[in-house]
Amino acid sequence: MSRPAHRRPEYHKINKDLFVLTYGALVAQLCKDYEKDEDVNKYLDTMGYGIGTRLVEDFLARSCVGRCHSYSEIADIIAQVAFKMYLGITPTVTCNNASRNEFSLILDKNPLVEFVEELPTGRSSLCYCNLLCGIIRGALEMVHLAADVTFLQDRLKGDSVTEIGITFLKKLDEKKYRRKK
């Protein structure tokens, strides 16, 4: 078998509009189901978490990235490899504090909000792309890294850019999985 060591499999492409419209329909339905913005945000985050725990395996299987040795490496990989692979965009990474565990991903172009003009009245604190936060949080937890992921700035709310903040908390203990038999 003469295969190169890192084989990139073929991606199955689907129509981007279909994906963006599906996401929009999802958020719209959640808005109909729940009155409060916090509830919608919370459920988007939970759904994202479920997606993230599974997506991370697909990401690791297809991208062949090795073990990271620092939080800034992880933030770089999320921005440059993961976002590129799944959304086709490359956010820029900035580090927010001296202890190097808070990072921001700045998205200047967000494909998910392509058809959204503005948030509906009465929904001013809705985080439209909160699914992304949940996905990042779920994915990091599966590689034993606890993190808090939130939107720091959102173009839909009037800010100039969309900024996702990732705060790495204490590293999850791997040993607890060995004791469970």
Partner 1 sequence: MAIFSVYVVNKAGGLIYQLDSYAPRAEAEKTFSYPLDLLLKLHDERVLVAFGQRDGIRVGHAVLAINGVDVNGKYTADGKEVLEYLGNPANYPVSIRFGRPRLTSNEKLMLASMFHSLFAIGSQLSPEQGSSGIEMLETDTFKLHCFQTLTGIKFVVLADPRQAGIDSLLRKIYEIYSDFALKNPFYSLEMPISMKLKAEEAGA
Residues of the shown chain interacting with partner 1 in the complex, contacts defined by CB under 8 A: 1, 3, 5, 7, 9, 53-58, 60-62, 64, 67, 142-144, 174, 177-178, 180-181
C-alpha span between 80 and 70 (Å, rounded): 16
C-alpha span between 40 and 52 (Å, rounded): 18
C-alpha span between 47 and 15 (Å, rounded): 22
C-alpha span between 111 and 144 (Å, rounded): 29
Instruction: With beta carbons less than 8 A apart as the criterion, state whether 104 and 96 touch.
Output: yes
User: Closest approach of Cβ 146 to partner 1, in Å?
Assistant: 14
Q: Give 7 or 32: the residue with its C-beta nearer to partner 1.
A: 7
User: Closest approach of Cβ 125 to partner 1, in Å?
Assistant: 29
Q: Give 129 or 145: the residue with its C-beta nearer to partner 1.
A: 145
Q: Give 39 or 57: the residue with its C-beta nearer to partner 1.
A: 57
User: Closest approach of Cβ 36 to partner 1, in Å?
Assistant: 27
**Helix (H, G, I), strand (E, B), or coil: what is residue 131?**
helix
User: Closest approach of Cβ 96 to partner 1, in Å?
Assistant: 25
Q: Give 140 or 156: the residue with its C-beta nearer to partner 1.
A: 140
Identify the CA nearest to 97 among candidates 68, 130, 127, 71: 71
